[in-house]
Amino acid sequence: MRYFVMFKVALATLGCKVNYYETEGIREKLALYGHEIVPFSAEADVYIINTCTVTAKTDYQSRQLVRKAHAQNPASAIIVTGCYAQTSPHVFSSLPGVRLVAGTDEKRRIPDMVSGLFQSKQKIVVSDIAAKNTFSSLSVTNFSEHTRAYLKIQDGCNAFCSYCIIPFARGPSRSLHPDAVIEAVRTLQKSGYREVILTGIHLGLYGVDLDYSHDLASLIRRIEADTLLERLRISSIEPMEISDRLIDAVSSSSILCRHLHVPLQSADDYILSRMKRTYTVNEFRTQIDKIIKKIPDVAIGADVIAGFPGEGEREFQNTFSFIESLPLAYLHVFPYSKRPGTRAAAMPDQVDETTKKRRAAALRSLGSQKKYTFISRFIGNRMSVLIEGNTAKDRKLMKGFSDNYIQVLVTNGDESLINSIASVHAEHVSGERLLGRIV
C-alpha cells in the first residue's frame, strides 16, 4: 500500500474554463487522497497555482500569486503549472518557495507528486507539448461551489494565429472519445448537475483526431439521446467551424442552450489576414445572419482585440462600425498583448498603449450598449432560469442564467430554489441583468 503524507493544500487558477476544469480535477484527486483543501487566502503547506499566459497581465498575475503564497507561509512548497509554466518554466524556478514547475501535460501527475515535495530538491517537469497526441486523464465529478459543470472534451490548438501563444502551451488538438464524454455527462448528471458546459481550447476541432464520424454536432445529438441531462451549453467556437449541422443541432435540440460565443478579433480584412484568421468580414457576417435566422432569441457573444499591430484609425473604425451593426448579445474586449515567440510580436507598426486603452474602452462601451439592447428585448417574457444562489449584495435576491445566457435576478425566491430550473417572468432591466419573479 502506498504511503501518503497529508497536507493542507490551497489552489488558485487563472485563465480559461479549461484551466478551471483541470484545477478541479487536481483538487478532487487530492481530496480523494486525504489532503485537506483550504482557501488560497489561508496558510497552507502546499500551494498549487494553475497559470495563464494569454496576456502580459495574466503573466504578472501568475507571478504575484506565487509571491502571495510564499508571503502567507514561507515554509510552504509551491507548485506552478499551466500555460505560463509550460512556455516559461525558468521564470518560476527562481521565485522563492517554488518546489515544482509542472508543464501542461504534467498537471495530471501533480496529485501523485505532492506528498514527496519536501523530500526532494526543486524539480522542473516540462515535456514537449507539441509531441502529445493523447487526451489528459484528469476528470471531474464535482465542482466546488458551482451549480453548472464544465466538461473538457478537447485540448490543444492547430491554428497558430499570429498573436496567440496557446498552441505553444497546449500542443496539437486532442479529443475525448464520445463514449467517455457520455460516461462523464452521466456521472455529472447523477451528481445533481442540471447543466453541463462542453469546453475546449479549440472546440470546433473536436473529433478531427478521432475519425470522420465524430464531430461536435454528432456528439451533441448523442448526449441528448443517451443521457438524462436537462441543459447542455457549448463554449467558444470559431466562426467557420459552426457548420449547418451544428446550427441545426442547436435549433432543434430540447437541451442545447441558445448561446454561441464566436471570436471575431477584428472586422477589418487587412488586420484579419495579419492575424492569420481563416475568414473575411463578409464571411463572419454571413455566419451570424445564418445563426440568427435559424435560432430565434439566440445570444451571440464575440471576442475582439483592440490595437493589433498595423491597426490604424481606419481599421479600428471598420471594426467598431461592423460590431455596431451586428445583433450581438455581449462583447469581450482585449487590448492586444505582445506574446514572445509569436509572429505578431515581431511585426512593425505596433500600437502604443494609450491608443490601445482608448480603443478598448470604446469597444467595451459599445459592448455594454449591445448587452442592454439584447436583454431589454425579453422584458415581459418568461425565462427558463437555472438558479445558482444568492447575490453578494442582497441575500434576498436569487441569481441564475437563462438558457440564452442572460443573468436573471429573482425577487421572490429563496435558497430552496438553488440548482433548480425555474420559470421567471422578466419585469425590468437592472444594470446588465434582468429582474423578475418566479411564476
Q: What integer pLDDT is reported at residue 142 of this predicted model?
A: 87
Sheet holding 231-234, edge to edge: 148-152, 195-199, 231-234
Please state whether the predicted TM-score (pTM) of the whole model is above 0.75.
yes
Q: Which of 127, 147, 170 is the last residue of a domain?
A: 127
Are residues 331 and 370 in contact, defined by beta-carbon separation less than 8 angstroms? Answer: yes
Q: What integer pLDDT is reported at residue 118 of this predicted model?
A: 86
Terminal CA-CA length for the chain: 56
Are residues 71 and 100 in contact, defined by beta-carbon separation less than 8 angstroms? Answer: no
Residue 266 within any structural domain of the chain:
no
Which among 3, 55, 46, 1 is positioned nearest to 26, based on CA atoms? 46
Residue 364 within any structural domain of the chain:
no
> How confident is the model over 201-217, as pLDDT tens digits?
999 999 999 976 789 99
The CATH number of whichever domain residue 149 belongs to comes to 3.30.750.210
* Helix, strand or coil, per DSSP, at residue 106: helix
Residue 2 predicted with pLDDT over 60: no
Specify whether 216 is located in the same domain as 234.
Answer: yes
The three cell numbers of residue 312 are 490604424
The three cell numbers of residue 93 are 524556478
Residue 3 predicted with pLDDT over 60: no
- % pLDDT > 90, the chain: 87
Specify whether 104 is located in the same domain as 120.
Answer: yes
Specify whether 76 is located in the same domain as 182.
Answer: no
Residue 228 predicted with pLDDT over 70: yes
Task: With cut-offs at 50, 70 and 90, classify the pLDDT of residue 276.
Answer: very high
Residue 96 within any structural domain of the chain:
yes
Q: What integer pLDDT is reported at residue 1 of this predicted model?
A: 37
Specify whether 137 is located in the same domain as 157.
Answer: yes
| Residue 267 CB contacts under 8 Å (≥ 6 apart), including other chains | 281, 284, 304, 318, 319, 321, 322, 323
Q: What integer pLDDT is reported at residue 213 of this predicted model?
A: 73
The CATH number of whichever domain residue 54 belongs to comes to 3.40.50.12160
Residue 244 within any structural domain of the chain:
yes
Strand partners for 147: none
Specify whether 428 is located in the same domain as 413.
Answer: yes
Which among 352, 332, 350 is positioned nearest to 342, based on CA atoms? 350
Give the separation between CA 342 and CA 326, rounded to whole angstroms: 30
Specify whether 135 is located in the same domain as 251.
Answer: yes
Are residues 181 and 223 in contact, defined by beta-carbon separation less than 8 angstroms? Answer: yes
Q: What is the average per-residue pLDDT within 411-435?
A: 92
Give the separation between CA 412 and CA 396, rounded to whole angstroms: 8
Q: What integer pLDDT is reported at residue 83 of this predicted model?
A: 96
Mean pLDDT, the chain, rounded, equals 94
Q: What integer pLDDT is reported at residue 318 of this predicted model?
A: 98
Q: What is the average per-residue pLDDT within 230-251?
A: 95
Q: Strand pairing of 421-430 and 382-390?
A: antiparallel
Residue 374 within any structural domain of the chain:
no
Domain count, the chain: 3
Q: Which of 213, 234, 257 is the last residue of a domain?
A: 257
Strand partners for 428: 435
> Helix crossing, 178-190 with 216-226: angle to 10°?
40
Are residues 360 and 334 in contact, defined by beta-carbon separation less than 8 angstroms? Answer: yes
Residue 87 predicted with pLDDT over 90: yes
Give the separation between CA 428 and CA 361, rounded to whole angstroms: 27
Specify whether 13 is located in the same domain as 119.
Answer: yes
> How confident is the model over 131-147, as pLDDT tens digits?
988 898 788 998 876 78
> How confident is the model over 172-183, as pLDDT tens digits?
999 999 999 999
Residue 159 predicted with pLDDT over 80: yes
Q: Which of 257, 283, 305 is the last residue of a domain?
A: 257
Q: What is the average per-residue pLDDT within 229-242?
A: 96
Residue 271 within any structural domain of the chain:
no
Specify whether 140 is located in the same domain as 184.
Answer: yes
> How confident is the model over 106-127, as pLDDT tens digits?
999 999 999 888 887 889 999 9
Give the separation between CA 371 and CA 1, rounded to whole angstroms: 56
Give the separation between CA 112 and CA 365, rounded to whole angstroms: 47
Residue 370 predicted with pLDDT over 70: yes
Are residues 329 and 371 in contact, defined by beta-carbon separation less than 8 angstroms? Answer: yes
Alpha helix segments (H runs only) across 204-261: 216-226, 244-252
Specify whether 162 is located in the same domain as 239.
Answer: yes
Specify whether 12 is located in the same domain as 101.
Answer: yes
Specify whether 122 is located in the same domain as 139.
Answer: no
Residue 326 predicted with pLDDT over 90: yes
Are residues 383 and 402 in contact, defined by beta-carbon separation less than 8 angstroms? Answer: yes
Residue 314 predicted with pLDDT over 90: yes
Residue 414 predicted with pLDDT over 90: no
Residue 208 within any structural domain of the chain:
yes
Residue 268 within any structural domain of the chain:
no
- The boundaries of the domain holding residue 424 are 382-438
Specify whether 15 is located in the same domain as 56.
Answer: yes
The three cell numbers of residue 296 are 430565434
